[in-house]
Structure 1
Amino acid sequence: MNRDTSRELYDRALDVLVGGVNSSVRAAPQPYPTFVRKGDAGHVVDADGNKYVDWVMGLGPLLLGHDAPERVTSSVQRRTSEGPMYGMPTEVEVELAEFVTRHVPSVEMLRFVNSGTEATVSAVRLARGYTGRSKVVVMEGGYHGAQESTLVEGDAEHARPSSAGIPQSFAEHTIPVPFNDRAAASEVFEEHGDDIAAVLVEPVMANKGIVEPQDGYHDHLRGLTREHGSLLVFDEVITGFRVGGLACAQGKFDVTPDLTTFGKIVGGGFPVGALGGRTEVMEHLTPVGDVFQAGTFSGHPVTMAAGLQTLTYAAEKDVYDHVNALGDDLRDGLRDIVDDKGLPYSVVGTDSLFKVVFTRDGEPPENTADVGKAAVDRWNRVFRPQMQERGIMLAQNQFESQFVSDAHTQADVDATLDAYDDVL
């Protein structure tokens, strides 16, 4: 497979973009990333004209695939032709907010922002402002965007920043605990309960290999936060409007958080974030309350139009039936391949998320530490490049999720399973 143009573009990019990319994960593929020219339904075409079945799907936002339905594209084009943005309110942002509040159990009010990171930054600030407390509990190895309060590593007793440029004083207010460990969560509340503003958790850990919650785990967090007067914050930037359909993962697991953060699908493929929750909590944001939050591009009319039409289309068509059925076919087929070959790998995922984690003992990961113990370099440096040579584009590394879209077909699934069978 000829990839000369991608190599040449990366060489040029190294002179003008830090690391040759605008988001660090894009530099992960070795020896250089693939530059994409265009999308086509459930595929992408690279700068050299090679076509791949695409399971990256923009890292999640493209529920409908690369070719949006006419109602989506026409709405985006109309909004753009009327002027891209105004710095003033528009009807479409109200309509999208009304849609979200109708379908997501926890959301009574919304504030649109511009990224998942901005949404989680705002959620942490709001939780601290609402409770008057400082500490935030997060899951070890979880990711909630590029923000100081959650870029931490270590454990509850030895939290430290996971990036240069963040003072240790930030980490002192963040308490990491292992996902699915009820005892660890209970212990930190016993010790710090009076100063914990919130627990921030992905309903499904989807930034490090896909780790699902054990039965009752989120109920346990819900009970602890209520008992101690803290907020439960679900980070549904990835799972929102993908896991659990229109009710999101909180609907699937029947646990209602106090706040929920969104991104990706809620903007229909355009830059977006959102923070939603109970009115009592949300009205602590300015201009009603005293927790400051604002943004020039928040509620951008083009993004709002794309998000509204994407979600309306998903509600009216059989989108979730289709993507979840293909997800089941992928996971079932992958389990058969792994079992037939006697490999100790784990097939993980739910709904339209899937992944093969190169575990060493055949046990599905219970937390992100288990994923970190897998054969990460083998997946990144040996397995993924071979899949790409066979026309299958997988996530940039072992940790990122893979996503099914409405544009994928059974033929895409079959081709992918054939490639897995060949490479594994």
Structure 2
Amino acid sequence: MTHERTREIYDRALSVLPGGVNSAVRAAPQPYPLFARKGDGGHVVDADGNRYVDWIQGLGPLLYGHDLPEPVTAAVQKRVAEGPVFGMPTELEVEHAEFVTRHVPSVEMIRFVNSGTEATVSAVRLARAVTERNKVVVMQGGYHGAQESTLVEGDADHPKPSTHGIPQSFAKHTLPVPFNDAEAAKDVFEEHGDDIAGVLVEPVQANSGIAYPVDGYHETLADLCEEYGSLLVWDEVITGFRVGGLGCAQSKFDIDPDVTTFGKIIGGGFPVGAIGGKTEYVEQFTPSGDVFQAGTFSGHPAAMAAGLEGLKYAAEHDVYDHVNDLGRRLREGLSEIVAERAPEYTVVGTDSIFKVAFTRADAPPQDDCCANGCRQDPECARFGACPKRGTDAARMETDRYARLFRPAMRDDGVLVSQNQYEANFVSYAHTEEDVERTLDAYREHL
């Protein structure tokens, strides 16, 4: 397998793009990133013509893989042919909004934007405006887009920006707490509850090694928000329309958030984001309310067509049965391989998301109760050592994954996530053969 063309392109890219990329995580693969030439179903072909089983799937938006179903492709082509963008509303935006509000339990009204980051930025602004408060609670190690209010680390007593360029005066309004720690959440509300505008939380921390919620944790956050008059904001940018099917993760976990942010699948692989929720809150966006929110490309016809037709196709076919079944096969197969080859590691994931977390556990392998991915089950022998929150990913064998394991998988024709933080995603285009080939590669290289 040669990578000469990729290396040449990367050499050129380093001269004109910071780090040679347009999104930081793309530069993570060692010794340099592959450059994609085209996709083909559940596979991708790089600039050198090498073909791989692709579990990155665009970092999550590709429910159907790289080949969209014919109705989706036709709808996108039709919209593009009619004009790229209008600066005017279209009926398609209304149809997409109607579909989402019919299927997602908490969403009564929705505003489409251009990215998951834009969605969470707008959600924070909305929560502050609705409550007339300043502080937001976030989960340590979580990710809610490249925005000032959530690029914060530390704890509730000592928050600080996690990147240069954000003033400490911004970070002081953000209260980081550990995911899955109900007592920490209660403590921060007891101290700051009267000034907490909202809580931002992923149903499953899926951008930091995949941490499943401990039983009762989300109910605790919901109860605290109700008691103190704060907004519960669920970040379903990753989990939306992937975990829990058309009802999203909130239907899987039976939680009724005030506001939900979306991205990725809701746009069918095109740039998109959305903020949905209770009418009393979402209608406070301009022009019906006083919370400013706008965007030239919001509700872009191509993204609306891809998102709506993609979700309609899922509603009429066995899409979720297929991807969730393959996800289960991968996790169960990986659990067997890990128990034999690397018992200190932990298999995580749910529905069509999976990963092997390179944990350093001094504990027995996962029990059968967690063979389909860690479920934070106290009865599991691995419970005390399994990843509980996003910050746990930093203590994993990140260098071994990046420098040894992932390059070996790549050379074996299997692409897995760029680092120990990102998840792997199953698409409708993946097959049982892809699963078996991938399990063989894990068995060989773990």
2:422 and 2:147 map into 1 onto residues whose CA distance is: 19
Q: Within the alignment, does 1:393 sit opposite 2:415 as a pair?
A: yes
Q: Is the 8 A contact 1:355 1:401 kept in 2?
A: yes
The answer for the alignment partner of 2:432 in structure 1 is 410
The answer for the alignment partner of 2:131 in structure 1 is 131
Deviation at 1:341, TM superposition (A): 2.1
The answer for the alignment partner of 1:365 in structure 2 is 387
SS, match of residue 365 in structure 1: coil
AA of the residue aligned to 1:80: V
Q: How does 1:252-401 map to 2 (within 5 A)?
A: 252-361=252-361, 362=363, 363-401=385-423
Deviation at 1:367, TM superposition (A): 1.1
Q: Within the alignment, does 1:420 sit opposite 2:430 as a pair?
A: no
SS, match of residue 305 in structure 1: helix
The answer for the alignment partner of 1:69 in structure 2 is 69
Q: How does 1:8-407 map to 2 (within 5 A)?
A: 8-361=8-361, 362=363, 363-407=385-429
2:422 and 2:67 map into 1 onto residues whose CA distance is: 23
1:371 and 1:166 map into 2 onto residues whose CA distance is: 24
Change (3 A) 1:175 1:421: same
1:390 and 1:321 map into 2 onto residues whose CA distance is: 28
Deviation at 1:36, TM superposition (A): 0.4
Deviation at 1:369, TM superposition (A): 2.4
Change (3 A) 1:19 1:342: closer
RMSD: 0.6
Q: Is the 8 A contact 2:208 2:391 kept in 1?
A: no
2:240 and 2:343 map into 1 onto residues whose CA distance is: 32
* Alignment deviations for residues 168-199 of structure 1 (CA, whole Å, 9 cap, x no partner): 01110000000000000000000000000000
SS, match of residue 274 in structure 1: strand
State the identity as a percent: 70
Deviation at 1:380, TM superposition (A): 1.0
AA of the residue aligned to 1:20: G
Deviation at 1:370, TM superposition (A): 2.0
1:217 and 1:271 map into 2 onto residues whose CA distance is: 32
AA of the residue aligned to 2:420: Q
AA of the residue aligned to 2:252: K
After TM superposition, the score normalised by the length of structure 1 is 0.99
Q: Is the 8 A contact 1:210 1:355 kept in 2?
A: yes
Q: Is the 8 A contact 2:101 2:109 kept in 1?
A: yes
Q: Is the 8 A contact 1:125 1:291 kept in 2?
A: yes
- Segments of 4+ moved more than 3 angstroms: none
Deviation at 1:381, TM superposition (A): 1.1
SS, match of residue 94 in structure 1: helix
1:126 and 1:325 map into 2 onto residues whose CA distance is: 38
SS, match of residue 10 in structure 2: helix
Q: Which runs of 5+ in 2 are unaligned?
A: 364-384
Q: Is the 8 A contact 2:108 2:277 kept in 1?
A: yes
Change (3 A) 1:422 1:110: same
SS, match of residue 12 in structure 2: helix
2:126 and 2:355 map into 1 onto residues whose CA distance is: 34
* Alignment deviations for residues 359-384 of structure 1 (CA, whole Å, 9 cap, x no partner): 01153201122222111111111100
* Alignment deviations for residues 265-292 of structure 1 (CA, whole Å, 9 cap, x no partner): 0000000000000000111111111110
1:6 and 1:150 map into 2 onto residues whose CA distance is: 34
Q: Is the 8 A contact 1:347 1:364 kept in 2?
A: no
Deviation at 1:342, TM superposition (A): 4.7
Q: Is the 8 A contact 1:231 1:259 kept in 2?
A: yes
Q: Which runs of 5+ in 1 are unaligned?
A: none
Deviation at 1:343, TM superposition (A): 2.3
1:364 and 1:305 map into 2 onto residues whose CA distance is: 41
SS, match of residue 347 in structure 2: strand
AA of the residue aligned to 2:310: T
AA of the residue aligned to 2:205: M
AA of the residue aligned to 1:32: Y
Q: Is the 8 A contact 2:62 2:268 kept in 1?
A: yes
Q: Within the alignment, does 1:5 sit opposite 2:14 as a pair?
A: no
2:342 and 2:20 map into 1 onto residues whose CA distance is: 39
2:7 and 2:343 map into 1 onto residues whose CA distance is: 34
Deviation at 1:31, TM superposition (A): 1.2
SS, match of residue 369 in structure 1: helix
After TM superposition, the score normalised by the length of structure 2 is 0.94
* Alignment deviations for residues 231-285 of structure 1 (CA, whole Å, 9 cap, x no partner): 0000000000000000000000000100000000000000000000000011111
